[in-house]
Structure 1
Amino acid sequence: MAVWDKLIPWIIMFFLGGAAGQYVNYPGPVCAVRRSTVTLPCNFTSPKPSLQIIRVVWCQNHEICQGTTPSVYDSENQNNDPRYQYLGDKKGNCTLQIRDVRMKDSTTFRFRMEANDSSGHFTGQSGVKVTVDTDPTEMQITSSTGETAVTKGQTVKLHCTARCTFHQLEVAWFRDDNALSETGPALQLRNLMAKDSGNYTCALKTNINRRSQLYSLHVENGAGPDPSRVSVTVVAGASVAVLLALCVLVLVIFVITRKRAAAGPRAGGDEVEQKRPDAIYSNILMPAKQELRHGQETEQAVEDVSYASVQFTHKNQPRAAVEAEDAIVYSTVASRS
């Protein structure tokens, strides 16, 4: 009887969890490379929204994840393992991050919520299965072009992958055993040159001695443009464009200046031309006036001479006759006397 009393709470929690499994949403199976960092996205909904969630727990390999079950994270525990970081809250986000993944993490993780009333307690039994890759040498490099021989000037992206999927893998890159400054699961090489040829490898930053298989990249001299020549060509083209623009501007200013200069003398020239016909007309008119005046003076002189001649003749002849008549009269009077 005592055994049944102990089993009844477990049975009730088991059926409650199965009946309400949709309250916790887990990602699909996750594969993590040993000593890497992996994130388990998760969200939840309270079975009874009227209740307040006061405790959240993540545990390993336990169906109910309650009581004295060992947990990797407990919101009420101040001594949680720092490798397990809870990125969620008590309202709907239950994301868990595992750092420095170890072999013991290759198991099923489950999330449990507890409310201020036992009727709101719930564990998502489906959980999320984590698989740990024990052999980093299984990591490999793939290329975005799918070819190991590429042309100078191309852009290639190299991806560091593992045998299974993973999240937030911290990667170090090497070329001919020389460490590169780039980090992350992808290495992008732009404007490839001959110096980019070599054997590439990738490894976890926490264990750089366990690298991936070699990936040989050979940059060939093809039709691809040399970046240095492209830069020189672009600069030269820009310089020519600027010079042409300046020449056009100078030409426009020159044409405008010439037009303005031509417009000024033309206005003055109109006055000169206007005055010039008057001068020509006066030059023509003056001799005509002088000739006319000279003719008039000549005619006047002729008329005066003629008039004087006429007047002289007219006066001389009558005067002689008068004097003769006077003499005759005088002699007659004298004789009579």
Structure 2
Amino acid sequence: MAVCDKTIPWRIWAFTFLLTGAVGQTVNYPRPVCGVETSTVTLPCTFTPLRSFIQSEREVLLEIVRVRWCKNHLICQGNTPSVYDSNSETNDPRYQYLGDKKGNCTLQIRDLRPEDSATFRFRMEADHTEGHFTGQSGVTVTVVDETEMRIISSSGESVMREGQTVTLHCTANCTFHQLEVTWFRDDHALPASGPAFQLGPLTAGDSGNYTCGLKNNLKKRSLTYTLHVGEKGEDVTLARTVGVVLGVLVVLCALILVFFMVRRTRAQRAVGGRKCPDNICSNNPQPAEEGRDHQQETSEVEEDISYASVQFKHKNQARPVEEAADVVIYSSVASRG
């Protein structure tokens, strides 16, 4: 009975140790990585191997003897093609293993190509099959064309003032790592490298057209980013606001002027289209002034009658004089109202 008491705890401990060791085998990958074609990306990676296992009620220590990286393969074992194999002497030099056999499995991919858009997985192999393990989740790499590169300003503005500081970021349509670039201003190379380029304190000489390109492929560059640096003390925002306000006022003034011109033209056309004297066509004729001399009124009436007669005879010379007199009398009566 005493022997059983000693054996059972040992077996329980051995089972627990084995279970813990198996569960403890892990591979930690980075988030999905995006890189620009012909650039270099690094895939940070760590792993936890199985240190030992229990065989015939005794602990057997394990040692990692081989590490591999495969592309688009779930297990990465046997004769599966590898992009890197620690046991191979013919590895593609574009794939550099920066890790070890202890816990670092970092892989660097140089001169990215479209075929590198894939899922990469790491596998560890020990001196016993119990220690073999593949991290099946893997890390996804996306390769984009360098023509998708662009420059983004930390300030969000392309107009700055002297004395300010700004950082230009050379980026693409996704997040990438370790982009090796060269910066240019007005097609002249600048003494700067890396995806971020800090400028400041700014001077007028920093104004220009900026581009960025990969160090190993300078033929293709990003879209142009134009930076303008104004003189110190110049309130660029206020200047832009004043310019906008003035522009709006000019447009309003032009619209008002056009409106009045159109209105005046219409009024002139309306007056020119009238076919009778104002004292006849008017709906509201002005009354004669009180106290006006009767003799003066008679002369004015006679002048109106004569005018009307002339106008009438000019237009209708063939009609009898009696009819003209009747029309004249009617016109005179209408004018005196």
Normalising by structure 1, what TM-score? 0.59
The amino acid of 1:162's aligned partner reads A
Residue 9 of structure 1 corresponds to none
Answering whether residue 77 of structure 2 is matched by residue 66 of structure 1, we say yes
* CA distance in 2 between partners of 1:109 and 1:40 (Å): 9
Answering whether residue 33 of structure 2 is matched by residue 30 of structure 1, we say yes
* CA deviation after TM superposition for structure 1 residue 47, in Å: 2.9
Answering whether residue 170 of structure 2 is matched by residue 160 of structure 1, we say yes
- The one of 42, 46, 49 equivalent to 2:45 is 42
Deviation readout 1:18-61 (Å, 9 max, x if unpaired): x8596111111111110110000111111344311010001111
* CA distance in 2 between partners of 1:215 and 1:177 (Å): 12
How many residue pairs are counted as aligned between the two chains?
Answer: 206
Distance change in 2, residues 1:213/1:22 (3 Å): farther
Residue 82 of structure 1 corresponds to 93
* CA deviation after TM superposition for structure 1 residue 183, in Å: 1.0
Q: CA RMSD in A?
A: 1.7
Check the 8 A contact 2:25/2:50 in 1, yes or no: no
After TM superposition, what 4+ stretches of structure 1 lie above 2 angstroms from structure 2? 19-22, 47-50
Answering whether residue 167 of structure 2 is matched by residue 171 of structure 1, we say no
* CA distance in 2 between partners of 1:217 and 1:137 (Å): 21
Bigger helix fraction: 1
- The one of 110, 114, 118 equivalent to 2:125 is 114
Answering whether residue 99 of structure 2 is matched by residue 99 of structure 1, we say no
Distance change in 2, residues 1:20/1:81 (3 Å): farther
Long gaps (5+) in structure 1: 1-18, 225-337
Answering whether residue 225 of structure 2 is matched by residue 210 of structure 1, we say no
Check the 8 A contact 1:83/1:98 in 2, yes or no: yes
The amino acid of 1:30's aligned partner reads V
Percent identity reads: 68
* CA distance in 2 between partners of 1:207 and 1:65 (Å): 33
Aligned partner of residue 125 in structure 1, secondary structure: coil
Larger radius of gyration: 1
Aligned partner of residue 146 in structure 1, secondary structure: coil
* CA distance in 1 between partners of 2:218 and 2:153 (Å): 21
Distance change in 2, residues 1:21/1:123 (3 Å): farther
* CA distance in 1 between partners of 2:25 and 2:177 (Å): 24
Normalising by structure 2, what TM-score? 0.59
Deviation readout 1:60-105 (Å, 9 max, x if unpaired): 1111101111101111111211111111110111000001111111
Long gaps (5+) in structure 2: 1-21, 53-60, 235-337
Deviation readout 1:163-186 (Å, 9 max, x if unpaired): 111111101111111111111111
